[in-house]
Amino acid sequence: MTSDTSYTDQEFSLIGTRPIRPDGVDKVTGRARYGADASAPGQLVGLILRSPHAHAKIKSIDTAKAEKLAGVKAVLTAADLPDLTNGNRASYDVLENCMARDRALYDGHAVAAVAAIDEVTARKALKLIKVSYKKLPHVTDVDEAMKDNAPIVQPHVRTAGGDPDKQTNIAQVSTFGHGDVEAGFAKADYIVEESFKTEQTHQGYIEPHACLATLGPDGQGELWVTTQGHYTFRNVCAELLGLEVAKLKVTSSEIGGGFGGKTHVWMEPVALALSRKANRPVKLVMSREEVFRASGPTSSTSVDVKLGATRDGRIVAATATLRYQDGAFPGIWGMLGAMTSFACYDLENVKSVGYDVLVNRPKVAAYRAPSAPMAAFGVESCVDLLAAKVGMDPVDFRLLNAAKEGTKASYGPPYGPIGIGPTLETVKKHPHMRARLGKNQGRGMACGFWFNFGGQTCCDLNIGVDGTVNLTVGTVDVGGSRASLSLIAAEELGIPYESVKCTIGDTASLGHNDTTEGSRGTFSSGMATIFAARNAIEELKARAAQTWEINAKHVEWENGQAIAKGIEHSNLGPLTLEELARKSPTTGGPIAGHNEVVADGAGVSFASHICDVEVDPETGSTKVLRYTVVQDAGKAIHPDYVEGQFQGGAVQGIGWALNEEYIYGKDGRLQNPGFLDYRIPVCSDLPFIDTEILEIPNPNHPYGIRGVGETSIVPPLAAIANAVSNAVGVRMRHIPMSPPRVLKAIKEAQMEEEAQQQVSAG
Amino acid sequence: MTGVHVSTTVNGDAVEFVCPGSESLLDVLRNRLGLTGAKEGCGTGDCGACSVTVDGQLVCSCLVLGAEVEGREVTTVEGMARGDELHPLQRQFIENAALQCGICTPGFLVAAKALLDRNPSPNEEEIRYALAGNLCRCTGYDKIVRAVNAAAKDLAREAKRSGKKRKRA
């Protein structure tokens, strides 16, 4: 079978080795072309005018002066983007996010755009556009937005299944779980109940959104863009602009980081519309400030967790209420928080309720295992507290309650073979857990879960006349996947890694591929590559049989060559892939393999992290001293890039836990839209990040691959909060644990202690 | 356009351009000279993706005006390799998988070279502080620090070898 997805245990010759990446030289010489690195003859510079208000009615927009400025070729407002979404509210939301219609919904919401011959002219034109606003009441905090008297962000929104007449900011309530939690808590000897908050963070990719758009009056267009999903971008842009999908060619540039933030269109439809109006190519590049103000950060949250355990250390009941803000448009972030919160544990009675809440902030986008880190922060903090109440070591307590094969997940389905137990066993044995700690130092650990995703995938594998191979895939290479996919093609065909050239195809070269999200790149394109290679091998065997004039069923493929089986064929020497390729012009033409698949069966992934910190009691500043990531990869195709995913996710989590935060003023405007005041971790903040790759094969992939990209950001918030709490002796309940917040927590605990002493003394 | 006429040297080549007085060196390099190796990550000198050297000094080219480089020597990532031979830093970044998306890589390479030019055998802490002005969001810096360390050792070996050669000659 060329398309059997089930796992087969096999000896690999290339998988698991660490060859250099094929795009390495381009990327170290400055040759690699990213979103802002392309130009077209006659191109214009596009710029966007953005709302300075958190919430305002747009009374009028006067573009007359801007249009008259010499060098201005197009000015665009919502009036140039008619609603073609046919009642599809989700699509209308995307359109409205690209360009405000009657109201600006957040600070930074686009209200108009220009295309001009150069940047100086475009900037002048922006200043000449006069927008008349009427400010409206706004809300930016998730708990405030849920109150009955809160300003309403989207008047049409009703809570699904709720009061059809009541305007609300609660777009969705999602409930998961099983058993009887009340009965469970009644049996508990110990109960922990705590509330937590996390602030909003941004994916923080170093490359701002950028595109080069060309759209003619004939409805034919091209879009060069930094994206995680060029096929999705094509479909969305075509729908919003009334284009035929086949006539819009979208090419994904090299991508300078995405982490989920480049799964949505932000200004690409605007660039295409400007190009159509001006009938010239338009290059549109966001500034860093625009990236922060107007492209998708993740949710800020407010989470309550309650856990109960019996004396023997079994968790008998667990509940969580999770409130996630979605920005100004409904999303699924509270739902994902509710689904992931208790996924690490084997629980008889569990209930989680997620709220998706609208506020006047930018539309929330996916950020690496979206929603799971905040839920894990609350749950894993409470797991530590409950372990302490029971009197058990936190790792042993987690091991006792960990989910295993056959466990009914808190979000519904039963688990197959999973890695939570093995990661905890590895942590338990790890020398990190026995290293000595000094004064003001603390250790914490935590677990994390992510689903992973497969999705629609296709690829082409074309064998050249010299036996080298072009592999064309439709998932974007965000972290070295061209290397892993080349390894897979070479492994299947039995040829050297260096003989494969992997390219990301544009939308005119391959069928639809879902966006590269859910850690699916190597999982799903790896699966399609295996099947395409096996498909090509069938053809290679047929060509060998034809050459030998024997029946194809007597031909087998071994180590990169066709072998004639059976004693009667012992006179026939093997034919290598290269020999068959060289003969191909006369044996039937080009040899290729193809595959189209919906890559179901993405294996869930678990990780356990250990972290040591030192907290300066004078300043409240926290330094990470040591960090260890243990995660199940299913199968590590190229271990360097698996380690890279573990390390990168952990460090994004460290930034989130300690520093990063969107700060909004009372006026609802973002106060820190730059890397100076929104501080992501730098090299001198960090130690080396140690990694342990476990390999528990995913039964639904021929090589056992699980996605590895996202899970690594799930445990850090909780692991670091547990470490800081242990270092300072005060439970940390608010992320990020920035120095003022840590100092405040220490002072409040001291005051509480003093007050108690006074009471007992009096 | 009223512009400033500038004669300068970029990666060893004599170059002339005209730019508005307000235009950054980064925009000149990228949009007038076709050198898109330096990247704009922030435009405010916080991310280091646009790092180049001017007369050997490491700068954020987004904070330097094009007009300021009259008569100076500018070096960018495009000037690091000698012909088809990669600089040891470039080689070790590839060998150590010190890049994922690669957008920050040109800036890191230029900054790391500026470090090794001044301090040929830095310890881990010196590497981490010298690169603290360059943001990377993918790698957690682990493999970058290892790559710079390995390149420093390569350069020391090369220097030793060429020293011996000179002695023999």
With beta carbons under 8 A apart, name residues in chain B contacting A29.
37, 77-78, 80-81, 86, 90
Burial class (CB in 10 A: 0-12, 13-18, 19+), A163: exposed
Beta strands in A221-362 (DSSP E): 221-225, 248-252, 282-285, 301-309, 315-325, 350-357
CB B34 within 8 A of CB B50: no
Q: What is the pLDDT, as a whole number, of residue A1?
A: 46
Which one of A18, A25, A27 would you mutate to disrupt binding with B, by most B Cβ within 10 Å of its Cβ? A27
The minimal CB distance from B106 to the residues A18, A21, A30 is found for: A30
Residues 6+ apart with CB under 8 A from B11: B35, B74, B75, B76, B78, B79
Which one of A20, A21, A28 would you mutate to disrupt binding with B, by most B Cβ within 10 Å of its Cβ? A28
Residues 6+ apart with CB under 8 A from A270: A46, A48, A76, A81, A98, A99, A110, A113, A284
Q: Does the beta carbon of A227 lie under 8 angstroms from any beta carbon of chain B?
A: no
Q: What is the pLDDT, as a whole number, of residue B169?
A: 59
Q: Does the beta carbon of B108 lie under 8 angstroms from any beta carbon of chain A?
A: no
According to DSSP, residue A685 is labeled G
Q: Does the beta carbon of B81 lie under 8 angstroms from any beta carbon of chain A?
A: yes
- Which residues make beta-bridge pairs with A561? A558, A576
Contact B78 A34 (CB under 8 A): no
CB interface of A with B, residues 435-494, below 8 Å: 478-480
With beta carbons under 8 A apart, name residues in chain B contacting A684.
125, 128-129, 131-132
Residue of chain A minimizing CA distance to B143: A644
The minimal CB distance from B42 to the residues A120, A288, A640 is found for: A288
Q: Does the beta carbon of B102 lie under 8 angstroms from any beta carbon of chain A?
A: yes
CB interface of A with B, residues 489-548, below 8 Å: none
With beta carbons under 8 A apart, name residues in chain B contacting A24.
93-94, 99
Which one of A17, A44, A292, A683 would you mutate to disrupt binding with B, by most B Cβ within 10 Å of its Cβ? A683
The ipTM value here is: 0.97
Please state the three-class secondary structure of B5-22 as a single string. Answer: EEEEEECCEEEEEEECCC
Tally C-beta pairs within 8 A across A and B.
181
Q: What is the pLDDT, as a whole number, of residue A215?
A: 98
Q: Give the max Cα distance, chain A.
A: 103
Which residue from A504, A554, A555 is spatially nearest to A529, judged by alpha carbons?
Answer: A504
Beta strands in B40-89 (DSSP E): 51-54, 57-60, 73-75
A11-55 pLDDT, tens digit each: 999 999 999 999 999 999 999 999 999 999 999 999 999 999 999
Q: Does the beta carbon of B123 lie under 8 angstroms from any beta carbon of chain A?
A: no
Phi, psi of A232 (to 5 degrees): -65, -45
The minimal CB distance from A30 to the residues B44, B76, B96 is found for: B76
Residue of chain B minimizing CA distance to A639: B97
- Which residues of chain A register pLDDT less than 70? 1-2, 762
With beta carbons under 8 A apart, name residues in chain B contacting A33.
36
Q: What is the pLDDT, as a whole number, of residue B164?
A: 78
Q: Does the beta carbon of B50 lie under 8 angstroms from any beta carbon of chain A?
A: no
Token pair in block for residue A231: 């096929």
pTM for the full predicted model: 0.97
The minimal CB distance from A689 to the residues B20, B36, B142 is found for: B142
Going A264 to A267 to A271 to A273, the CA torsion angle's sign is positive
Across B152-166, average pLDDT: 89
Residue of chain A minimizing CA distance to B103: A256
CB A48 within 8 A of CB A288: no
Please state the three-class secondary structure of A455-470 as a single string. Answer: CEEEEEEEECCCCCEE
Q: Does the beta carbon of A254 lie under 8 angstroms from any beta carbon of chain B?
A: yes
Rounded to the nearest angstrom, the minimum Cα separation between B159 and chain A is: 23
Q: Does the beta carbon of A652 lie under 8 angstroms from any beta carbon of chain B?
A: yes
With beta carbons under 8 A apart, name residues in chain A contacting B36.
30, 33, 36-37
Rounded to the nearest angstrom, the minimum Cα separation between A290 and chain B is: 10
CB interface of B with A, residues 5-44, below 8 Å: 20, 22, 30, 35-44
Q: What is the pLDDT, as a whole number, of residue A292?
A: 98
With beta carbons under 8 A apart, name residues in chain A contacting B109.
28
Token pair in block for residue A204: 């923080």
The minimal CB distance from A30 to the residues B36, B43, B137 is found for: B36
Angle between helices A639-658 and A716-728 (to 10 degrees): 50
d(C-alpha A82, C-alpha A79), whole Å: 6
The minimal CB distance from B44 to the residues A36, A288, A689 is found for: A288
B77-104 pLDDT, tens digit each: 999 999 999 999 999 999 999 999 999 9
Residue of chain B minimizing CA distance to A651: B140
Rounded to the nearest angstrom, the minimum Cα separation between A83 and chain B is: 34
Cα distance between the two ends of chain A: 81
CB A633 within 8 A of CB A450: no
Q: Does the beta carbon of B92 lie under 8 angstroms from any beta carbon of chain A?
A: no
d(C-alpha A35, C-alpha A227), whole Å: 8
Q: What is the pLDDT, as a whole number, of residue B1?
A: 56
CB A703 within 8 A of CB A15: yes
Beta strands in A141-218 (DSSP E): 170-178, 190-198, 210-215
Three-state secondary structure call for residue A418: coil
